[in-house]
Amino acid sequence: MTGPFKLASLPWDDAALEPTISARTISFHYYKHHQAYVDTLNTLVEKTPFADMKLEKIVQATAKSSDDKEKKIFNNAGQVWNHDFYWRSLTPAKTAPSAQLDSAIAAAFGSKDELIAQLAEAGKTQFGSGWAWLVSKDGKLGIEKTPNAETPMAKGVNCLLTVDVWEHAYYLDYQNRRPDFLKAVIGKLLNWDFAAQNFQRAG
Buried-state track 151-185, b at ≥16 Cβ within 10 A, e below 16: bbbbeeebbbbbbbbbeebbbbbbeeebeebbbbb
Residue nearest to Fe ion (CB): 164
CB of 27 to Fe ion, least distance (A): 13
d(CA 21, CA 197): 24
Angle between helices 55-62 and 68-89 (to 10 degrees): 130
Closest to Fe ion by CB, 30 or 192:
30
E runs forming strands in 111-165: 130-137, 140-147, 158-164
d(CA 59, CA 78): 6
CB of 40 to Fe ion, least distance (A): 14
- Chain contacts with Fe ion (rule: CB under 5 A): 164, 166, 169
CB of 66 to Fe ion, least distance (A): 25
Closest to Fe ion by CB, 35 or 48:
35
CB of 85 to Fe ion, least distance (A): 11
Closest to Fe ion by CB, 27 or 111:
27
CB of 57 to Fe ion, least distance (A): 22
Closest to Fe ion by CB, 101 or 153:
153
Closest to Fe ion by CB, 159 or 169:
169
**Number of neighbouring beta carbons within 10 Å of residue 1:** 10
First vs last C-alpha separation in the chain: 23
DSSP symbol at 10: P
